Structure formats: structure tokens, C-alpha cells
Structure 1
Amino acid sequence: MMNGTLLSACTAAALLAILGARATVAENIVFPDDAGVVNVKARFAAKGDGVSDDTAAIQAAIDQVRGIPDTLYFPNGTYLVSDSVGIFNGKAHSRDRFLTYQGQSEAGTILKLKDNCPGFSDPAKPKIVLSVYEGQGTGDVMHSYVRNLTVDVGSGNPGAVGLRFMSNNSGAMYHVTIRSSDPEGSGKLGLDLRQGQNGPCLIKHVTVHGFDHGVETGDTFSLVFEHLTLRNQRVAGIVSQSARMTIRGLTSLNSVPAIQLGRHAHLTLLEADLSGGDKDDAAIVSESPKLFLRDIKQSGYGHILKDAAGKLHDAASLDEWHGGKAHALFGGEPKSLRLPIKETPEVPWETDLSKWAKVPWSKAGEDISEALQAAIDQAAEEGKTTLYFPRRTSTYDYPKFTRPVRVHGSINRILGMSNIIDISDPAGVFKGDGPAIFTFEDLKSPAIVVERFFLLGGWKGPREAFMFDNRSRTALVLRNMGIRSKIKKPAKAGECFLEDLPVSGLFIGPGEKCWARQYNPESPEANMVEVDGGQLWILGLKTEGRARHIIARNGARVELLGGVSYQSWDKQPLDPPMFTVVNADASFTFGFYHWKLPFTTIVEETVGTETKALLRKDLADYHLPLYGASGARSR
């Protein structure tokens, strides 16, 4: 049975969010010569002149550094190719992973297929232009990134697939355009997410122009999209048979359906503007009941939604709608919490390389404790903005440090350059009530970004330590990295933003606010997330392990929009509630994919002295369409 409410207009807040969907950040992504990026022009003689064939040079670069978390850097230019490039026939647990494809700018770095290229002419035999990973199904193609570039399949290539992307646990696409230059938009598929066991990963600020299908997915753990633009597709914008997708900020300019879902698909969609449709079509066509839709508007289509029961919903906009039964253990009509949504702060990329400060190191295992703090102090004294850990390319060499670090002054970005940085605690400094590993104080920037570490803390770092403690008024942005510890100390105020983090141990204190996008905690025992009086908004949560996923208490406000609990681990002795809510406000829409040891209790809620439980057996299709708790407001 379908439940929901169709309203005549989106809320004003949602409209404003949609209008501001695409970030307007001038791109000029450059690095110092010693940062450790692999420049395809300097190292592999790619020309990027739009005339020379760069296929062999680009493939040689990929083959040289695959399996090592290096960054392939493409300076501005048009890199002409006449065949597929990337990783094909990949094997699980092999070197066929870990790469970053980094352009200088989305508009200026173009990987372009030759027009009328042999091998790309047959839509029945599609062929990929750029493949991040194609091959054996696996869940460990981690740390894949594509940033700041355009893939153009040229003209006269109807069998072309623009970009095949896959990543697990951590991995993302940022500021990428995939387009067809054909006058008719010819091309089979723009963004190919069909590789089995894809995700979790984040796809943000991506545009697909042309093709039969803009985006197509296979079976996935979790795909999180934010600010996705689709234009001029010929058959459908998004096609998904069985993926678990969470999308915020979808703009579709199409005469064909914007979204087509198969019966096993799972979609959480909010803030979508679907325009240009045909009066005989529905904007969203779904054979699956596992939908949560909020703040959707359409123009041109005859219907906004055709649901799994075949019912046509006619309206120009939709306020909030979900398939299946919503739950509220303490009464009232369940609604999503609608916490205020803030965009992740964008700190401008530093293009003046004299303002970059290097953390020097020269050999594997070197203790850089003194050098790291000295580099920070000198950077603050000289007004430098970017602190970077240079990478030794084509190696797994990495340094370590053993003491707490104080970050202060003018620094607004810390770049790991995809390094593993080992952190050891021989003196037990970080235990108990000890200091965090990084403490931020007296920062001058409105935000500080810490990003691009393959693993911060190393494989044997102090698990019970807190990695960060933000004592400044600066917003803290953590993204695109693994962390071998608890994320941050809880605070009484402040804002933090998490993106693409495969880390457990998130603690939010009273008065603190946090926005998380593609968050992937995993734990067999320790609680994954605890919110004590603070506020947490999550866009796409993927979990592993039968530990409590979220605890909200003491007036906390928590909103979870989309994702999946994936259980595949043996011998887990615990069977706690998945979500625990104690005198707090919360809303959850969430999916489950349990091979082994499923949770017995999905939600346990306490208001005052009374406790009630929502059990797994009470859910249809093993899916939580919506749960609403208002324990804080009830007291």
C-alpha cells in the first residue's frame, strides 16, 4: 500500500536549495612539483593538444601506477583517444584499484573520443571510453576518485559509454561533465555505475549531457548523489534496476522520463527539479515500492509519479511521499524531521603555490613529529594556507608521527595526497582523557578542510583516540579519507561536515551541528554514532557490523535520509537495536541488505520512563519507509 501527500507547491526552503544546487567555484587545481602527483604530460608524454592520439600515453600512465593510491594529473588540454582507457578485466583483491584521476579544471581538462571512432558504432555492443574499474565483482575497489574533468564521447559514436565508475567504502566524483558532442546526443550511456557491488561512494556536482541513458546502475551497496544535472537524454535520465540510491539536488532537463526504477530498486530523492517532460509520460516511473520522495517539482510531464501499483500521481509538485507504511511508536503522523541543510563549505583552492607548506619526510617509517609541528608553526607565521604531505609516487612508503599536533593560524586546508600516515602512541598520550591527535585553535579561516588521506592513522593506529578536536570557531570539513580512530571529540558548539568517510565512532555533543554525506561506519560492537543533545543530518548511510548504528538522546535531533545496513559478518555476539532514541527527535528512512545475522529490533524509543520497540518482523519488504520520533518535543 502507498501512503503520502501531494501538495501544490514545494516549500520555499526546498526551492531555494534547488536554485543554489550547482556550486560556482572557479577551478584551477594545481600542485607543487614535489607534491607527488603523476603528471601525464610530464611523465608519459601525453600531448593534450586535441590533435595527437593520447590513448597509449594515458593507458601507460594507468598501468604504471594502478594498485597504488597515486594521483594521475591531467593539466588543461584536450586528450584525444581512439580506444578505451582505464582498468578492464579487473580482479578482486588485486592492483586494479586505488587511483585518482585529477584534472586541472572541469571545463579545461577534456578526455575526448575521436569522432566516428571504430569500435564505438554499435549500441548493442557498448564500449567504454574511460573505465575506473571493470571486471570481477568485488567489494574492495576502494579510494577511486575522478575530479575536475570532462569526458566527451565525440560525434558519431552511438555505442559509446562515457565513464564507468566504481568505488567501495571511500571514493567519489567531483565536478565532472560527461557529454556527447553529437548533434543528436548520440551515445549509449553517460555515467556507467553497473559494476556489481558498487559503493558506497559519493557523486557530487556531476553533469551528463546527451546519451540514451544519462546514468545507469547495477546492484549496489549505496550510491549517494548531490547536485546531479541531466540534460537531453534520448530514452531516460536515470535507469536503476536494483541499486540503493540517495539523491539530493537533481536537475533534469529532458523530454523523456527523468527516473526509471526496477522492482528491486531503492530510492531516496529530495530537492529535484524535473522539467521539459512529455505530457504522456511520468517524470518518475517506479516498479519498486521502496521510495521516499520530498520536495519534487516537475513541468511538462503529464504525471509526477507512476508508482509500483501503477497509480498515476498528477501534480506539479510533491511535498513528501513514501511507499509503504510509516511508523511512530508514540503516536502522531510520521514526517521527516526537515532539519536545516547546509552545503559543505567550499574553501577556494590555493593557486599561489608559494602559500603551500610542505611536511618534509624522506624515508618510510620516519618519525615526522617535530617536522610536522614546525611546518605548521612556520606556515602560520608566514600566512600560508595549504599544508600538504608529499607523496612518494609508485610506492607504499609512508611516514609516522607520535605526538599531538596543534593546527593554528592561516591554514585552511590539510592535504594528504592519498598517503597513508601512521600514528603511533608509544607513551600512551592519546588514551583516556588525553588530547586529540589534531587540535584546531585560533584559526583565521571560516572553514578548514582535511582531505585526501588513504588512511590517516595507519593500519595500527590508536583506535580509542580522537583524531580531531576543534576548539576554534571555524567549521570543520572532513572528507575523502579513512581514519584509524574515533573521528572527533564531542563539542558544546560548532559545525562539522563529513563527506565520503568510512569511519566509525562519531560523537556529537550538545549544541553541536553536523552534516554528513556518504558516511560509512563499520563496527561489530562499539556504537557507530552517538548524538547527545546535538544535531545530525545524514545523506546516505551505509553500515556493516551488528553494533548500534545511531543513538540519539537528551534532546538530540537526528535525520537519516537513505542508505543501507549491510550485514555479511559471521560470529557477532551482539543483537542491539539498530537505532536507539531516548527523549530525542529523529526521523529515519533506510534500507537493509542482510545476508547474515539480521537485527531483531530496528528502533527502540524511550519517552520519559516508557520504552517501545519496532521489530524487524513488523516491516514489510524488510525496509523502513519512514520512522518518526518526537520525544524531545513531547517532554
Structure 2
Amino acid sequence: MPTNYIYILIGLLLSLQPETSAGQAYPSGEKHFPATAVINVREKYGAKGDGSTDDTQAIQQAISENIGKDRTLYFPKGTYLVTQPIKWVHIVEQDSLWRARLTIQGQSQKETIIRLKDHLPEFSNPETPKACLATGSNKVNNKESKNGGGINAFNNLIYDLTIHTGNGNPGAVALDFVGTNLAGLRNVTIVSGDGEGVAGILLKRQGAGPCLFKNVTIRGFDYGIDVYGSEYSQTYEYITLKDQKKASIRNTSNVLSLRKIRSENKNAVPVILNARRKDLKSAKRPDNYGLITLLDAEFVKNGEPATISAIVNESDTNTQAGNLYIRNVGVKGYQRTMENQGAVAKGSAIKEFVSTSVNGSASGNRADKPETFSLSIKETPQFHQNDLTQWASVTDFGASADDPNGDDTQAIQEALNSGKEVIFFPKGKFRYVISKTLVIKGNVRQLIGMQSGIDIGGKNDFSDSTQIAPVFRFEQGKHDTIYFERFNLSDERKSPFWGGVFIEHASSQVLVVKDIDNDVYARGKYFYQNTKGAGDLFLENVATIMPWNFAYAQHVWARQLNPEAHFVPLGKPIITQKGGSLWILGLKTEGPRTVLESDQGSVEVLGGFLYPVKNIQNRDLPAFISNKAKLKLTYVVNAYNPAASYTSMVSNGNKSSRKSITTDKKQFSNRGAGTAVPLYITTGEK
């Protein structure tokens, strides 16, 4: 059969190097924490970390006693030898009572190592792979999970360490991961000592996303990252993959948002394999086709040039190919850059490519001429203070998460006024209770919650729905950038919170919000709102259930944003934007609401997973509303029946005169009962 070349489809394949290098890891450095902020596995559980003592029992005990509690286990530098799978379970012998909500925090990405012993019989068979480390989910609908998978895999977080599968363990998986809403890895290295093993990161159980993987290096294995199943999307940034044997990344049906991916391989295998599902029983299921959004990447084949394609989008005569949006990718050492629907492309770079027609008012409805705009991208600022004399605990000022009847407002404000740079919240049995606005200014540089919960007091200043009142108000302070991270923000007591806003950005300082979960019962006005002149906002791994209000023009960059609609009023969008720019790498929503309404703003969504869940009663409800706004969107709608999918994708124009782009089969690809939108563009009303 003759080979078809994608000369027309890839009219934008040019011999260009990417504008920026990919996969360059942030220097993570060492991370020190006060003793009351973490649980030290050496001090409390007797782990040795000397590279020769078997630490399996100590580590498993630490995990089994702390899962489900949002605790942080701290691993000082050292090599922790293990000989059996380490699992997020309470009862190891019965492999039962899987749970989530645990943070593993290493001291050093390079020098904190969890390592499998060499040549273990339990890890010898690739046909029955076993994981060195496996996270889990809490019960779903009051039923225990048999394999640890599930949609309640919240707050599974791993930071700053290495997982090493040793030598002679060809049936090993380094990390079998489930994690939802707020979950993921940051500053993690995964290594096979001899290159053997099934996968570096395996994501095949239910509950693999939404989550964020950032600054991760994987060396060896058949697959660096192996993803299976349609739900609920994953975001990857600054990922380095080396010497995989079958594919660096294999995606079967899910939605992946990829940026700054670097592959270096001596083996002639694809870097990206967007694979077909071959076991579907119903065409109406939403998991027929995957969507990969890829930008700012470098793929290098070392040694002899590979005759295969660096990117493979599988298809056959009976199955539609998956969907791709690719931008700014450099390729070296591969004779073929990409294979899409049986056609192949040659060249050394992809400037911009869409696997199907482009939709929108500014497009020519051709994959070779998308005529797109792109927003500028800024990297998320990084900070960790290792000088522990600059840390202050709110408990030193009288706050306590062990007293369910207390009010911690005054004590926390005193800590914020103490002059220390870092204010931390030790994890307690319950939550810290706040009844009045906390003001952050002065010398405060970072608030770090250690996954502590924040609750609203019964008598509070947030109860009047006509008077908006913030819980955390960021006012002008000393530092250029402020960091707010590792909190669970909720109204678990169901206190009156009708005028409440969890975060108000009222300064020109840059604000970085990371690893935040906005939990059930948060029935307030907004999760976030800004004031005029607010500084840049960076979001990473943030899950919320309240509306967002960008009331004034602002520049926002988000990685793995999960805004759900549980407490978004009917007829209101989840996100409201008035001017400014909003750049999102990885967006997952939930609930039958409009995702975003932009009034003369600029929005770029690079990989979206829209999940209405319930039937959309107003069949004209659009997924997005553009009021003279510029939108560039790539996403899917996940649905099990047509009534739970949007029929109107984008309502475009102005508030008095709009035109809707509907889900006509001629315009969009079906994805089961939902829709795939590889690229939609509008540059505003002409």
C-alpha cells in the first residue's frame, strides 16, 4: 500500500526549532519544613533510608496510619529500600480499605529515593505487573474499591523525590497513580536501573485525573507514561522522557494537555502514541477517542535515524482517529514527524497543526490554515523558604485545628502580623475556623496550609448575600510575589456564607495559588475575585465548586484548573471575565453550566474536559459565551447521553446580538454522546 504524505494537511510543518526549549526541569533544590508541619518517617516510624535496611514495613505503616487524613509524610534524604508493593491501604494483608488524601514530601528530588530491591520474584512478570507505589481512592457511593481506583481519589500528592525500580524487575511499574481534582506529582524522578519495566507512571484505573504532573523525569520502561480510559483529563508540564522501549507516552482515549515535553531516546519508538480503544461495547460511550494538546516540545532520536513517526495518531477504516492540536514542536532523528489517519509528514518541526477542521469566525475551516492567535505564556514563579526561622505557625499564636468549637480568626491574624515570611498551618484533627476577613500584607510572602482545612464559623461576617466579604484578602505588601498553597477551603459546618469570597486579590503583587481544594458546602458568592489593578495571577492544581469573578482586566495563567459548578447559580457562568487575558493548560469542569463568559477578554484553553454530568435543561445553553472576546479553545465534551451534552458550543457576538456555533456533525467530531473540538477560534465581533 503506498504511503500518503501530509503535505497539505501539514502546510505549517516548517524547518524551525521550537521557540523555547522543552523538558528543562526547574531546579527543585532541597525542601525543609518545621517538625510540626510534617510527619518524619524516620523519627516516627523507624525508616532507615540507608540503602540496605528493608524499609517496606515502616513506610507501609506510615501510609496505612495516615491515609484519609490529609497528612504529609516527610522523607529525609536517603535511599529507602522496599521489597513489596507500597499501597494506599489500611489493611495490607487483605489488600483492602483503599484510601486517598495523603501527601508524600521528599527532602530532595535527587537524594530522597524509594528503591525496589534488585531481582524480586514478585516484580518479574510483565504480564502481571506490580507497582512499587500505588495510590488509592476513598469509598465511592459507600462501596469499597477492589483495586484502589475510584473518583474520590482527592489530594494524592507526591513531591520532591525519586522512585527507582532497581535492576532485574521487568514486571515493575514505578507508580500506579489515581488522583482526582487536586492530585499529582511535582519534582519527581522515576528510574529503571536497567531500563526494564512495564511503565514509569501507569494511569489505567478509574480516577486518573484531573491531575497535574510537573517537573517529572522518567528513564527507561516500556512506556514512560501509559494512560487508559476516557476520564477525567491530565495536565503535564516540564516532562523529560528517556529511552522508553515501546512509546514515551501512550494515551488511550483520555484528554492530555502537554507542554514542555522533551524526549531523548536511543530506541526507534514513537514519542506520542494516541491509541485506539479496541474493547468498546457501545459507540455511545464517551471514551471512543482521545484528545492530545501538545505545545513547546522537543523530540530527539539518538543514534541511527528512526524510520517511524515521532507522533502517531492511530486509526483504521472502522474507527475515527483521536484528535490532536500541536504547536511549536521540534523533531530530530525521526524520518517522519507525524502520522495522522494513515498519512505521514516529514520535516524537523511542527509550527501548528490541527487534526481536523478548525471552527470559528476567524478560521478558514482548514487544518493547514488555522490563522490562530496565541497568548503569551509566563512560567509559574517558584519559592520555598529553607530558613525555618522565617516560618511562623498559627498554633504558636493560639490557633488550633484540634478544637472543633473554637474560632481561630484572631490568632491567625496575629500570625500574619508577626513579621515572618512564611505562615503555616499544622494539620490537626479538624479544621481552622474563621469568622472575619483575614488581611495578608506586610512581610508575608507565603501561606502554606499543609493540606489543612479552613472552615467558616457559625457567627461570621460572610452571611449577608448583599455584602461581599472575603475570607483571605491580599493587600499591598513588601514582596513582589505572594504564594498561597496546600489548603482545603470549605464551609463544612454549613454556616451562612452567602456573601463569602475565599480569595480577594486586592494588590498589584503577583499572586500564586497552588494545590488548593475548594470542598463541599462552600455556598459563597465567589471562590476568587479581583479588584482594579490586581497583579498577575498564577494557578496550579486548583479545584473549586464556586464561581470565579475576574471583574477587572488581569493577566491569568492556569495549569490544571478544575472549576466545578456545584454552587454556581442557574443562569450564571462558572467563570466571568471582563477584559484581560486568561491562559489555561488543562481545564476540567463539572456541572450543566456555561463554562466561561468573556466580555472583551482574550482566552486560550489548551486541552479542556467539559463534563455536564446531568441533563442540560436549557438546550440553548452555550458552553462558552464571547462578548466581542477573542477565544482559542481545544476541548471535549464528555457525555453518556445527548441530553447531557451541550448543543451550543460558543455563543459569539455581543449581549444584544449573538450567533451560536452548534454541535452540527458537519462542524465537530462526535465523542460518544459528546463532542470533540480540536480547535475553535474567534477573534471577536467583526
* Aligned mates of 1:429, 1:423 — CA distance in 2: 9
Q: Secondary structure at the match of 2:558?
A: strand
- Determine the C-alpha separation between the residues in 1 that align with 2:162 and 2:179: 19
Q: After the TM superposition, which of the residue ranges 353-362 and 205-214 deviates more from structure 2?
A: 353-362
Looking at structure 2, the residues matched to 171 and 312 of structure 1 have their Cα atoms a distance apart, in angstroms, of 36
Please give the residue correspondences for 1:224-239 in structure 2 after superposition, counting only pairs within 5 Å.
Answer: 224-239=235-250
Cα distance in structure 2, aligned partners of 1:271 and 1:237: 16
1:320 alignment partner, one of 338, 341, 352: 352
Counterparts of residues 1-20 of structure 1 (less than 5 Å): 3-10=9-16, 14-16=18-20, 18=21
TM superposition shift of 1:65:
1.1
8 A Cα contact 1:422 1:458, kept in partner: yes
- 1:357-415 deviation line (CA, Å, top 9, x unaligned): 1112332231011111111111x2xxx211011112xx3x2220101111111211111
Letter in 1 for 2:351: D
Per the alignment, do residues 330 and 129 of structure 1 end up closer, same or farther by CA in structure 2, a change over 3 Å counting? closer
- TM-score, normalised to structure 1, is 0.92
Alpha-carbon shift at residue 609 of structure 1 (Å): 5.8
> Is 1:122 aligned with 2:161?
no
SS of the residue 2:306 aligns to = coil
Which one of the candidate residues 647, 657, 669 is aligned to 1:620?
A: 669
Q: Could you give the per-residue CA deviations for residues 560-597 of structure 1, whole angstroms, max 9, x where no partner exists?
A: 11021123235856751100001111111111111242
Please give the secondary structure, in 2, of the residue aligned with 1:133: coil
Say which SS state the counterpart of residue 537 (structure 1) adopts: strand
**Distance change in 2, residues 1:208/1:452 (3 Å):** same
Contact 2:79 2:112 in 1 (8 A): yes
TM-score where L is the length of structure 2: 0.85
Residue deviations 1:188-228, cap 9 Å, x none?
A: 21111111231100010001001111110111311110111
Counterpart Cα distance in 2 of 1:587 and 1:425: 43
Deviates more, 1:424-433 or 1:622-631: 424-433
1:492 to 1:49, Cα distance in 2 relative to 1, 3 A: same
Contact 2:274–2:322 at 8 Å: present in 1 too?
Answer: no
Q: CA deviation at 1:79?
A: 0.2
User: Match for 2:331 among 290, 295, 298?
Assistant: 298
Tell me if 1:603 matches 2:614.
no
- SS in structure 2 of the partner of residue 370 of structure 1: helix
Task: Tell me how far apart the structure 2 counterparts of residues 274 and 366 of structure 1 sit (CA, whole Å).
Answer: 56
Question: 1:216: which partner in 2?
Answer: 226
- The alignment status of 1:523 with 2:565, answered yes or no, reads yes
- Is the 8 Å Cα contact of residues 160 and 187 (structure 1) preserved in structure 2? yes
Aligned Cα root-mean-square deviation (Å): 2.4
Equivalences, count: 616
Distance in 1, Cα, partners of 2:406 & 2:372: 50
Aligned AA (1:198): A
Contact 1:32 1:353 in 2 (8 A): yes
- Taking the aligned partners of 2:264 and 2:246, their CA distance within structure 1 comes to 13
Q: Distance in 2 between matches of 1:406 and 1:529?
A: 25
Would the aligned equivalents of 1:221 and 1:564 in 2 still touch at CA under 8 Å?
A: yes
Residues 1:559 and 2:592 aligned together: no
After superposition, the C-alpha distances for 1:158-193 in whole angstroms (9 at most, x for unaligned) are 1111111111111120000000112xx122211111
Question: Is 1:506–2:548 an aligned residue pair?
Answer: yes
| 2:105 alignment partner, one of 102, 105, 119 | 102
Contact 1:546 1:574 in 2 (8 A): no
Distance 1:34 1:87, change over 3 A: closer
Q: Which amino acid aligns with 1:124?
A: E
Task: Report whether the alignment pairs 1:496 with 2:537.
Answer: yes
Distance 1:433 1:574 in 2: 33
8 Å contact kept, 1:22–1:227: yes
Q: Is the 8 A contact 2:446 2:483 kept in 1?
A: yes
2:232 maps to amino acid: F
Structure 1 residue aligned with 2:68: 67
SS in structure 2 at match of 1:611: strand
Q: Which residue of 2 aligns with 1:202?
A: 212
Please state if 1:591 is matched with 2:639.
no
Give 1:5 shift.
3.2
Give, in angstroms, the shift of residue 617 of structure 1. 2.7
Moved more, 139-148 or 438-447: 438-447
Which structure 2 segments of 5+ residues have no match?
1-5, 138-146, 277-288, 315-320
2:579 matches 1:533: yes
**1:353-368 → structure 2 map (5 Å cutoff):** 353-360=388-395, 361-362=399-400, 363-368=403-408
Look up the SS of the partner of 2:63 in the other structure: helix
Give the 3 Å change call, closer, same or farther, for CA 457–499 of structure 1 in structure 2: farther
Paired residues of 2:150 and 2:205 also in contact (CA < 8 A): no
| Cα distance between partner residues in 1 of 2:493 and 2:658 | 40
Specify the code of the residue in structure 1 equivalent to 2:273. Answer: Q
SS at match of 2:58: helix
Cα 1:502–1:92, aligned 2, differ >3 Å: closer, same or farther? Answer: farther
1:85 aligns with 2:117: no
Q: CA deviation at 1:492?
A: 3.0
Superposition map of 1:95-494 within 5 A:
96-133=99-136, 135-182=147-194, 185-219=195-229, 220-254=231-265, 255=267, 256-263=269-276, 264-276=289-301, 278-287=305-314, 288-307=321-340, 309-329=341-361, 334-347=370-383, 349-360=384-395, 361-362=399-400, 363-378=403-418, 380=419, 384-392=420-428, 395=429, 397-424=430-457, 426-429=459-462, 431-458=465-492, 460=494, 462=497, 464-483=499-518, 484=522, 485=524, 486-493=526-533, 494=535
User: Which whole-Å CA distance do the structure 1 matches of 2:484 and 2:577 have between them?
Assistant: 22
| 1:425 Cα deviation from its structure 2 partner | 6.4
| Structure-1 separation of matches of 2:310 and 2:112 | 33
Structure 2 CA distance for partners of 1:475 and 1:310, relative to 1, 3 Å: same
C-alpha separation in 2, matches of 1:215 and 1:441: 42
1:241-280: CA deviation from partner (whole Å, max 9, x where unpaired): 1121110110000132111111322211111100016431
Residue identity in the other structure for 1:52: T
Q: Is the 8 A contact 1:508 1:536 kept in 2?
A: no
SS at structure 1 position matched to 2:36: coil
CA 1:575–1:423: 2 relative to 1, 3 Å: farther
- The change in CA–CA distance for 1:545 and 1:575 in structure 2 (over 3 A counts) is farther
Q: How far apart, CA to CA, are the structure 1 residues paired with 2:509 and 2:676?
A: 38
